[in-house]
Amino acid sequence: MKTIIFASVICVALAAPQFQDQVAAITRDERIDNADGTFSYVFEADNGIAAQASGVQGSLGQSNIEGFYRYPLEDGSGFVEVRYVADENGFRAESPFLPTPHPTPAHVIELLRIAEEQRAAGITFE
């Protein structure tokens, strides 16, 4: 029995994923922070991972941000790149790798239904 248990433990250990040390060299790392809500950064690694963004002051005191990030596909056939904007109108991302249309979660649909019922009953919140 002990032999079977020992053999099972060895089999599990051998079947575990073997992670290779993957080291990427940073080829570019530039950062500017003006301490007033404006900033920019650029980051690149030799494996194709990259990110870039810049921020400017928004009308409500926030930083409006525009940028992108990129990383290689697992199969090595190309890269995923996502471009985004975050401002007074919310966060918006664009990429052919993002699913569209974005499905509305069931709990959000239920909350919208409740809000509509309350509005119809004259209940409002401001």
What's the pLDDT at 76? 86
Predicted confidence (pLDDT) at residue 21 exceeds the cutoff of 70 = no
Q: Is residue 78 part of a domain?
A: yes
Q: Is residue 70 part of a domain?
A: yes
Domain that holds residue 93: 25-97
Structure token pair of residue 123: 């209940």
Quick: pLDDT tens for 53-77.
999 998 887 889 999 999 999 888 9
The residue whose two tokens read 């080291």 is: 23
Q: pTM for the whole thing?
A: 0.62
pLDDT tier, 15 (very low <50, low <70, confident <90, very high otherwise): low
Query: Strand, coil or helix: what is 125?
Result: coil
Quick: pLDDT tens for 40-51.
999 999 999 999
pLDDT greater at residue 18 or residue 119: 119
Question: Mean pLDDT for the chain?
Answer: 85
Q: Is residue 55 part of a domain?
A: yes
Rounded (10°) CA dihedral 101, 104, 54, 59: 120
In one-letter notation, the amino acid at residue 75 is D
Quick: pLDDT tens for 76-100.
899 999 999 999 888 999 999 887 7
Q: Is residue 103 part of a domain?
A: no
Which among 76, 68, 81, 19 has a CA at the least distance from the CA of 47?
76
Report the domain count for the chain: 1
